[in-house]
Amino acid sequence: MASETAEAAPTILDVVARRMCVGCGACAVRTGGAVPVTIGRRGYYEADPQGADRATLAAACRVCPFANESPDEDEVASEVFASTLPVDGRVGRYLGTYAGRLADDDAVYRSSSGGLTSWFLAELLSRGEVDRVIHVGPTSSGPRLFEYRVASTAEELLASRKSAYYSTTFADVVRGLRGDGRRYAMVGVPCFVQAMRLLTREDETLRDQVRFLVGIVCGHMKASGFAESLAWQQGVAPEDLAKVDFRIKSPHDASAKRYRFGAWGTGADSPVAQMPGRLVGGQWGHAAFQLNACNFCDDVYAETADVVFGDAWLPRHEADPRGMNVVITRTDAADRILRAGATAGRVRLEDVTVDELAQAQAGNYRHRREGLAVRLADDIAEGAWVPRKRVEPGYRVSRRRLRLVRERRRLAELSFTLFEEAKVAGDLRVYVDRMRPLVRRHDRISRPLSRRLRSRATAEAWRLVRSIRGVGR
Ligand SMILES: Cc1cc2nc3c(=O)[nH]c(=O)nc-3n(C[C@H](O)[C@H](O)[C@H](O)COP(=O)(O)OP(=O)(O)OC[C@H]3O[C@@H](n4cnc5c(N)ncnc54)[C@H](O)[C@@H]3O)c2cc1C
């Protein structure tokens, strides 16, 4: 009895109490639903470990990507990938490092970035490497707009390309397929991939079934308020919102970054669309509706995925409206499939360096490494529980960055409360009018006056050059 009371409390309780649960569903799968994962008022999935006994909680902790009882990404990667692979602290282990896109422009425009993620998953099916793919796509009917589901054909999979910046869980889908004798691939953001690795470590049945893990780079996950607030600002109220497309692209766009967010009201044939950065909370850096779990993640390139795809935010690729992927392969099998696509002329692939991969995600590293160190140090100073991370707590940033890290955290938190109030009041202004000054303050810190004047002068100069050349008439 004495040793039982001396035992440390299961940290999944802290993870949930501190709202650091990302809702992946690994705990629900591992415990056969004894730790359920449900959608909360704030529009994202969270585990509910309250009713579970000690043994159940211990099992849940071992598969939770944010609990201290589970191994971190370095440990897991060292178990699953060849020890001969080079390692870099920023991207983890790597075999091939590329930038690339599909050769078929039509398909690229129907994808978020270079289209390689859905192409790769479809290849796994077509080549018979797996029987099914666990992926995320739009729901056919509400109230949620996106969900994890299972595709059995390439056509089915390719019908739902594009990123869902929207909270989902794999709990039900994976519980449903466990033990069905089929082979699966799964796509997920880094913490979901890590969660699935943790599950397969503990569960022999799933280990046998899950043959490929495909990662997508993640800046942070969004609650449903992100889609709802952007749609509402364009006249589609949350109760009328039937469908969204986070990344509408066109050959006429000035760059890959100038995609639009589209929203369909019930029964609408076409969307209302706007560049997200022009809407309150639409700029990624403002962190509106960012899950708090993402404040405590240090994995940018899904370090435990067999292959990972992201956006090639590199100067030489950004200007192309089609979009371009960055890619890291970590297994021979994944590398071979990608290279075969290039040899067959279906994929355009070029080698990039690890430095370029890091450069393509520079903002992401500021958030997940420097910013994480600050958030950990802040919370420790307040006496709050923090998860064990691969980043040392500390203030190794400029004063401006320190203010920015704290401001973003505040903005994210306030976006939830203000939007909830707006929905209760049935008045979008409750959200927009109170978010706007906070966003402005964030931007003043992010881009001080001198920098803003400099970029305004550069923009003016470009406008002048364009008018002399007669462009844009
Ligand atoms: C929340 C989130 C944040 C992201 N942040 C960044 C970032 O900061 N930097 C960056 O470079 N890239 C980021 N990405 C990835 C980026 O948006 C593209 O998904 C990626 O570049 C792949 O593009 P693609 O054209 O190859 O994908 P597509 O060919 O369009 O296929 C997308 C595939 O991803 C799957 N998918 C979509 N949404 C999800 C989801 N929520 N969870 C699991 N699978 C999903 C779909 O099932 C589909 O198979 C993020 C993605 C998400 C979901």
Q: Give pLDDT tens digits for 403-449.
A: 999 999 999 999 999 999 999 999 999 999 999 999 999 999 998 76
Distance 389 CA to ligand 1 centre (A): 24
What average pLDDT does range 122-132 have in this prediction? 98
Sheet of 325-329, strands arranged across = 146-151, 132-138, 184-188, 210-216, 307-311, 325-329, 96-102, 347-351
What average pLDDT does range 329-333 have in this prediction? 98
pLDDT exceeds 60 at position 58: yes
pLDDT exceeds 60 at position 248: yes
Residue with tokens 């160190």: 373
> Between vectors from CA 348 to CA 343 and to CA 351, what angle results, nearest 5°?
95
| pLDDT at 180 (0 to 100) | 98
- What six digits make up the tokens of 293? 């779990």
3-state secondary structure of 259: coil
| pLDDT at 51 (0 to 100) | 92
- What six digits make up the tokens of 244? 């969204």
What average pLDDT does range 78-87 have in this prediction? 98
Q: Does residue 94 have its Cβ closer than 6 Å to ligand 1?
A: no
| pLDDT at 7 (0 to 100) | 74
- What six digits make up the tokens of 82? 């060849």
pLDDT band at 56 (very low <50, low <70, confident <90, very high): very high
Find the helix or strand (DSSP H, E) in which 184 lies.
Answer: strand 184-188
Q: Does residue 188 have its Cβ closer than 6 Å to ligand 1?
A: yes
Distance 73 CA to ligand 1 centre (A): 20
| pLDDT at 473 (0 to 100) | 36
| pLDDT at 471 (0 to 100) | 46
Residue type at position 291: L
pLDDT band at 116 (very low <50, low <70, confident <90, very high): very high
What average pLDDT does range 210-224 have in this prediction? 98
| pLDDT at 387 (0 to 100) | 98
| pLDDT at 151 (0 to 100) | 98
- Is residue 256 packed enough to be buried (19+ CB in 10 Å), middle (13-18) or exposed (0-12)? buried
What average pLDDT does range 142-163 have in this prediction? 95
Write out pLDDT tens, residues 351-366. Answer: 999 999 999 999 999 9
pLDDT exceeds 60 at position 134: yes
Q: Can you tell me which atom of ligand 1 is nearest the CA of 117?
A: 26
What average pLDDT does range 120-125 have in this prediction? 98
pLDDT exceeds 50 at position 452: yes
Closest CA to 289 of 148, 400, 416: 416
Q: Can you tell me which atom of ligand 1 is nearest the CA of 166?
A: 41
Write out pLDDT tens, residues 160-216. Answer: 899 999 999 999 999 999 999 999 999 999 999 999 999 999 999 999 999 999 999
Which residue lies with its CA nearest to atom 20 of ligand 1?
310
Torsion angles phi and psi, residue 176, rounded to 5: -70, -30
Torsion angles phi and psi, residue 347, rounded to 5: -130, 135
Which residue lies with its CA nearest to atom 29 of ligand 1?
115
Distance 240 CA to ligand 1 centre (A): 25
Distance 112 CA to ligand 1 centre (A): 7
pLDDT exceeds 90 at position 450: no
Q: Largest alpha-carbon pair distance within the chain?
A: 83
Residue 109 vs residues 105, 171, 204, 253, 326: alpha-carbon distances, Å: 6, 31, 40, 11, 17
